[in-house]
Structure 1
Amino acid sequence: QNYLVVNHPEMMKLYKNSAGKFPYLKQKDFERPTTFINRMHKEGKKADILLIDEAHLLLTRPDNYNRFTQENQLEELLKLARVVVLVFDEKQTLKFKSYWSKSLLNTIAAKYSVQTYHLKQQFRMHAGADIQCWIEEFCQKKILPMPQKQLFDFQFFDDAQNLYETLKEKNALYGLSRLVATYDYPYTLDGQDHFITEGRFHLRWDRSKPQEKLPWAERPDTIDEVGSVYTVQGFDLNYVGVILGPSVLYNASTDGLRLDPARYEDSAAFAGRGGLLEPEQAKERIMLNALNVLLTRAVRGLYIYAHDPALRARLMALQAKAVLT
């Protein structure tokens, strides 16, 4: 009796679609955490092995929206399986209600026999170590010199429309190329289209279509939309264009980044701050985590445009200097 749970509706679509293609994978064995917890409690059963993907998305508090009434999803899942394997990345937590501190993890781990393995090699981005390092440092608010030119196509753009047109060309050639943005532009689940405008660039946010069988990243029509961190987390794409919105600013005094949580439009991310010792630091961590997710989706190439004129100028200057040398 083995199961996989993941607290991500788009990833669940992917798993269930994959399960339908192989005789030894059954769709019923893939569930969202709350559904699994409630069903196992009701049936009085216990799994043999439970694999938790994207475990950093598990809830750390009750949540009416997700119909989770217990205190902590990881603790509930540990009670319901003999062996639990969880894949966890502390740099991908995106909300207060799933905010994992090391002390919280250690408190839970102390109750069980735990083996920890640190995975240090990534297999998605076909990029050299210098590009990987640039992205990692950028997500720590540091700006390094432009990496060397290589097969992985890494570029900055001073015009969002040019970026989008380049991305569409890549999508026509290779497929699975999408545009995403930081959550800095108004978006409401009201059935209406909401748009991102940057100069002559004007394109709608992704439309919420929970009834679609294909996840957002795999639907051909989504080349005409801008995705968010919630539509691409966990997915591989060939080429990715990233719009850094108004919350991501240039800090001239440090030659790095400055974040403005007041301009971050994902209000749900900061809901429920109770119990957090340093909520302002947690806000910044969540924003940097979201940036990390967006910048690490691409296999073949990554394109970046910044809303902030000062940041845009700094990135373009780095690129121009690299071209000259």
Structure 2
Amino acid sequence: MDYNKILDNFSDKRILVIGDIILDHFVWGNAERISPEAPVPVVDVQDETYLPGGAGNVANNIASLGAHVSLSGIIGTGFKADIMCSLLNEKKIDISGVFRDSRPTTIKTRVIANNQQIVRFDREQREPVGAKTLKSLTGFIASNITKFDGIIVSDYKKGVITAQLVKFLMEQAKAAGGLFAAVDPKVGHFHYYKGVSLITPNKKEASEGSGISIRDTQSLEKAGLKLQKDLKCGAVLITRGDEGMTLFHDNKIHHIPTAAKEVFDVTGAGDTVIAAFTLAYVSGASMPEAAVTANHAAGIVVGEVGTAATTVDQIKKSLNAATARADD
């Protein structure tokens, strides 16, 4: 398989990412002493940074891989929402499908001291979006669906992804010629995803979503096959951290060992997986080839601290190095 050719095709593709948009806020510093007020570290703050998270990070990964991406979801109306829009515009992500809402922008603040995350603060509202916002989202989808080569649903259970929205999205995808639709799922919403092209749960999500405790390879395979059968989806890709990932497709099971050399931070790795897989598949790769591509992409981002994205050149380098090792 010529992975370089597949990767070169990314630049011609257009992807719609719809889901929960999150502003990732990082507070960076050093912790060299314990507070006299309580047994907690005192962080000497050196810097603060913001990155698009959730569906925004999926879109960022698509953009970083050289493809065209449109993001659809909701943000608030305040200063933090303006920061989000600025970040997305810098990444050249189309935000014509992002709508302002009365609820605040979802924010995750991570405090990182000495290259280690020590605490996270979440500010969010999780209620399903109202009828007016849902109408805006479905109107954007209906007006633009034929522009895209694939769809990614990024479900962080913050209120955007509802059964009604997914049903509408799948109807539109089918009417547009059967667009590839991948879902990064959340426990409690698995029944929403019937008939999608791909779901990409991690091991914990696959265990809870299938009702099967994953303890070993046998139980892993049982859970993956049950998910594929129950959801009637095209494929299931279970990400397994440092154990790699497992693809269930076409009555076959593919175990793919991790491509990561070192793991510093798994933040956003699932976003990278679904972005790289979807782009690879709509660019001509088979399901197993797309999974290998996604595995190498994830192996790159977990080697960096903070929400990260990778590039086509980095993936090429990783794949070529793996090929060279296999030939030795």
State the TM-score bracket (shorter-chain normalisation): under 0.3
Q: TM-score, structure 1 length as denominator? A: 0.27
Q: Larger Cα Rg: Structure 1 or Structure 2? A: 1
Please identify which structure carries the higher strand content.
2
Which structure has more RCO (C-alpha within 8 Å, separation ≥ 6)? Answer: 1
Q: TM-score, structure 2 length as denominator? A: 0.27
